[in-house]
Amino acid sequence: MDSVRTEIAQIIDALETGKYKRVRKRLRHMHPAKIASLIETLDDALRLSVWQQVDAAHEGRILAHLTPELARQLHSESGESISTEEEAAAASEAHHASTQMREVREALALGKLKRVGKILHAMHPAKVAGLLESLPPKERVDAWSMVETDRAGKVLSYLHDESCASLAMEMDPEDLVIAVRRLDLDDLVDLIQALPEEVGRQVLQATDERHREKLVSMLSYPEDSAGGLMNTDHISVRPDVKVQTVLGYLRLLKTLPVQTDKLMVADRKGVYQGALRLSTLVTVQPERRVADIMDTEIPAIPVDMPDDEVARLFQDLDLLSAPVVDAQNNLIGRITVDDVVDQIRESSERAMMNMAGLDQEADIFAPVLTSSRRRAVWLGINLVTAFLAAWVIGLFQTTLERVVALAVLMPIVASMGGIAGSQTLTLVIRGMALGQVAGGNARALLSKEMGIAALNGVVWAVVVAGLAVAWFGDWQIGGVIGAAILINLLFAALAGLIVPLVLDRMGIDPALAGGVILTTVTDVIGFFAFLGLATVVL
């Protein structure tokens, strides 16, 4: 009786902390009668929670042990939550993401975890990952508990680092090991890198020896290099064999690794020779030799090539996969285009997030305190620049006291400069990414940008001056603000071009710091030009 009580206490404990997987695991090993008596001892809320964790196949046998009333109640509960075939079909259809999410949230709110499990089961792991990330923490953990262990690894590989780590930590370590067992090695490497060190090491230790060695070597490459994108599942053949031999070998293998569009050709010593496209393999005569039909133009990617260069190479040459070699030109792996696509998407995401001082791997539902602390850094930097601008204004307090209209108009000067400068900045940053800005065309670009600034400066100087005169009825104020706008637009163009070039030379990502520096320049120059001129003229 004592052990039963302990068991019940443990199950209740697991229920209350949302460890539904643990509940299911325990229930699976209990006798139906025992589960029935457990259910009878629980209050209504917990009773339904337990019922949601019961395997559908065992429901009948448990119901048989319950009082008729309770059995009816739980059975009607199931009737609703166990999806009929139509429902499953509906769930498997390409639902709009937001509909699925609404359904999941409704089911979560009602505690209908089985229904959640059904919906998630019908979704692609990538979609499950997206859905999980769109749920607030508590609901996310509940939904996560309903993802089957053998699909959990794949889902983890689609999550951003932060949510990946937190959900992996929710799992029992042994489940985590089982979940990731069938992942591709490159996904597994990414996962281990996302996990806290201790857990990552556990996962690594649990993989079988043959894989572990490969994993360790893959983990040794920087995440942002070809080695970090590489997988080791390539199939390699010798250059001196015949096509029919290759075909025979492939039929023995029965299946090829996913994303195989070509075989790699390496000599006896493992030195890369070329690649044999499957599309060539199926069109040539069986008696041809590999060496004669292989493609030697496919570039072997050095394992230390930066990942953005790899992405550009794939893009320029329309590659589906490419061999990776070490410094001795030994074939050590391949990169497939799906990982390159992820890299491209991630790097553009990173650029956008960095511009606002955010981390792209951060969880959208990270705890308030964590998020606040992260964002505070950027606000702090901005505060310094804002005080710098304020200090410039402070230099002209006596002028401002005399002509209060200046205080009203001064933000206009700063803001026009900021917009014009950010246009140049964006153009240059993109140009640098595309290689359009490089190797001594900065001067040509500068003269073009200064031309635009001069033209727009004059136009908007006249417009703003006109509006200022109309507002304050003072020709001199009009003249001062017009001149200040022209000056600020010229400096904005200059800064928009020079700031990213200098940052790049200093090894700082211009997308990260460019915007803040630029607006500091345009604020300071704007206020200084406007208030300075006013002090002289008025």
DSSP annotation of 335 reads: E
What is the nearest approach in angstroms of a copy of itself to the Cβ of residue 529? 15
What is the nearest approach in angstroms of a copy of itself to the Cβ of residue 326? 18
Residue type at position 117: G
Pairing of strands 272-277, 262-266: antiparallel
For a copy of itself, the closer CB: 41 or 98: 98
For a copy of itself, the closer CB: 62 or 298: 298
What is the nearest approach in angstroms of a copy of itself to the Cβ of residue 410? 8
For a copy of itself, the closer CB: 26 or 234: 234
| Residue 108 to residue 102: CA distance in whole angstroms | 10
Residue given tokens 């090539």 in the structure block: 305
Residues forming beta bridges with residue 335, ordered by sequence position = 322
For a copy of itself, the closer CB: 226 or 405: 405
Pairing of strands 321-325, 262-266: unpaired
What is the nearest approach in angstroms of a copy of itself to the Cβ of residue 108? 11
CA dihedral 166, 172, 175, 177 (to 10 degrees): 70
| CA 203 to centroid of chain Cα atoms | 22
What is the nearest approach in angstroms of a copy of itself to the Cβ of residue 311? 9
For a copy of itself, the closer CB: 12 or 256: 256
What is the nearest approach in angstroms of a copy of itself to the Cβ of residue 273? 19
For a copy of itself, the closer CB: 152 or 429: 429
For a copy of itself, the closer CB: 471 or 475: 471
Residues 6+ apart with CB under 8 A from 150: 178, 179, 182
What is the nearest approach in angstroms of a copy of itself to the Cβ of residue 272? 16
For a copy of itself, the closer CB: 206 or 320: 320
Q: Which residues of 248-284 are buried (b: 16+ CB within 10 A; e: fewer)?
A: eebeeeeeeeebbebbbbbeeeeebbbbbbeebbeee
For a copy of itself, the closer CB: 250 or 502: 250
For a copy of itself, the closer CB: 8 or 386: 386
For a copy of itself, the closer CB: 33 or 341: 341
CA dihedral 175, 179, 180, 182 (to 10 degrees): 140
| Residue 297 to residue 82: CA distance in whole angstroms | 56
Cβ contacts of 354-360, under 8 Å, gap ≥ 24: 354/509, 354/511, 354/512, 355/511, 355/512, 355/515, 357/381, 357/512, 360/160
For a copy of itself, the closer CB: 48 or 335: 335
What is the nearest approach in angstroms of a copy of itself to the Cβ of residue 87? 19
Residue given tokens 């068991």 in the structure block: 7
| Residue 343 to residue 174: CA distance in whole angstroms | 30
Are the C-beta atoms of 228 and 307 separated by less than 8 Å? Answer: yes
What is the nearest approach in angstroms of a copy of itself to the Cβ of residue 233? 12
What is the nearest approach in angstroms of a copy of itself to the Cβ of residue 400? 5
Structure tokens at 360: 């792209």
| Residue 189 to residue 220: CA distance in whole angstroms | 10
What is the nearest approach in angstroms of a copy of itself to the Cβ of residue 443? 9
| Residue 339 to residue 298: CA distance in whole angstroms | 18
Are the C-beta atoms of 165 and 196 separated by less than 8 Å? Answer: yes
What is the nearest approach in angstroms of a copy of itself to the Cβ of residue 112? 17
Are the C-beta atoms of 92 and 83 separated by less than 8 Å? Answer: no
